[in-house]
Structure 1
Amino acid sequence: MQTVTINQLNTAWVQAGQTVSDLDNQINAALFNNESDSKDFTALVGKRDEAKKRRDAIKNQLDELGASQQVPKNEEKIEPQVPVTPIKNKEDKKFIDAVRGMLTGDPKYRDLVTSSDDPVTGVGAGLTIPKDIQTKINQFVRQLYSLQQYVRVENVTMMEGDRIYEKFSTMTPLQDLDAEDATIPDNDEPSLMKIVYKIHRYAGINTVTNSLLKDSSENILAWLISWIGKKVVVTRNQKIVSKLNDSPNKPTITTFDDIKDLYANTIDPALRPGSIYLTNATGFTGISKIKNEFGGYLIQPSVTDPDKYVIAGKEIAVIADRDLPDLTGNKHPLYFGNLEEAITLYDREHMSLLSSNIAGDAFVKDQTKIRVIDRFDVESVDKEAVAAANFKTIADLKPSSPQAPNGGGNGNP
Structure 2
Amino acid sequence: MKKSDELRQIVAKLRKEVMDLQGQEEMDKAAAKAVELNNAIRDLKTQEAVEAADLTKAMQHPSAPEGAPIKSENMARLRNRVFNKMVFGRALDAQEREFADAAGTPGLVETTPGKGGYIVPEEQISILREYRRANLALRSFCGYQTVTSDTGKRPTLSSEKDKLVAFDELNEINQDDLDFGQITYKISSYGDIIPVSNELAADNNINLMEVIGRRFATKSINTENDKILAKLPTKGSAITDYKGILNALNTKIDPMQAIAAIILTNQSGFDYLDELTDTQGRPLLTPSLADPSMMTLRGKIIVPVSDSILATPTAGIPFYVGAMAEAVAFFDRQQVAIEASSDAGFTKNATYIRAIERFDVEADDAGAMVLLNYKVGA
Q: TM-score, normalised by structure 2?
A: 0.67
350, 357, 365: which is aligned to 2:335? 350
| Counterpart position of 1:225 | 213
- Using the alignment, how far apart are the partners of 2:223 and 2:205 within structure 1? 27
Same amino acid, percent of matched pairs: 27
Kindly report which structure 2 residues correspond to 1:5-404, keeping only aligned pairs within 5 A, or say none.
Answer: 86=73, 88=75, 93-99=81-87, 101-102=88-89, 106=90, 115-116=113-114, 124-168=115-159, 170-174=160-164, 179=169, 181-189=171-179, 192-214=180-202, 217=205, 219-245=207-233, 250-293=236-279, 296=281, 298-302=283-287, 304=289, 307-327=293-313, 329=314, 331-359=316-344, 362-393=345-376
Give per-residue Cα distances to partners, 1:261-291, cap 9 Å, x unaligned. Answer: 1221121111223211111112222332345
Query: What secondary structure is seen at the aligned counterpart in 1 of 2:304?
Result: strand
**Deviation by residue 1:9-41 (Cα, 9 ceiling, x = unmatched):** xxxxxxxxxxxxxxxxxxxxxxxxxxxxxxxxx
Structure showing greater Rg: 1
Contact kept in structure 2, 1:114 and 1:125, CA below 8 Å = no
**What amino acid does structure 2 have at the position aligned with 1:187?**
D
- Deviation for aligned residue 1:149: 1.4
Gaps of 5+ in 2: 1-71, 94-109
Given the two structures, how large is their TM-score scaled by the length of structure 1?
0.62
Report deviation, 1:320: 1.2
Mapped to 2, the partners of 1:292 and 1:164 lie a distance apart of 44
- 1:236-275 CA-partner distances (Å, limit 9, x unpaired): 11111111126x6x22121222121122112111122321
SS in 1 for 2:269: helix
Say if 1:263 and 1:98 are closer, same or farther in 2 by CA, change over 3 A.
same
User: What is the deviation of 1:91?
Assistant: 6.2
Greater length-normalized contact order (CA 8 Å, ≥ 6 residues apart): 2
CA offset at residue 186 of structure 1?
Answer: 3.4
CA separation of 1:131 and 1:113: change in aligned 2, threshold 3 A:
closer
- The 8 Å contact of residues 288 and 299 in structure 2, kept in 1 or not, is answered as no
1:144–1:166 Cα change, 3 Å: same
Q: In the aligned structure 2, how far is the partner of 1:210 from the partner of 1:314?
A: 50
Aligned mates of 2:188, 2:121 — CA distance in 1: 20
Distance 1:306 1:153, change over 3 A: closer
Deviation, 1:202, is 0.8
Q: Tell me if the contact between 1:301 and 1:307 (Cα under 8 Å) persists in the aligned partners.
A: no
Name the SS for the 2:207 alignment partner.
helix
Count of residue correspondences: 289
Question: For 2:82 and 2:245, how far apart are their aligned partners in 1?
Answer: 53
Shift of 1:342: 1.4
**CA distance in structure 1 between the partners assigned to 2:116 and 2:288 by the alignment:** 48
- The Cα shift of 1:97 comes to 3.0
Q: Is the 8 A contact 1:92 1:130 kept in 2?
A: no
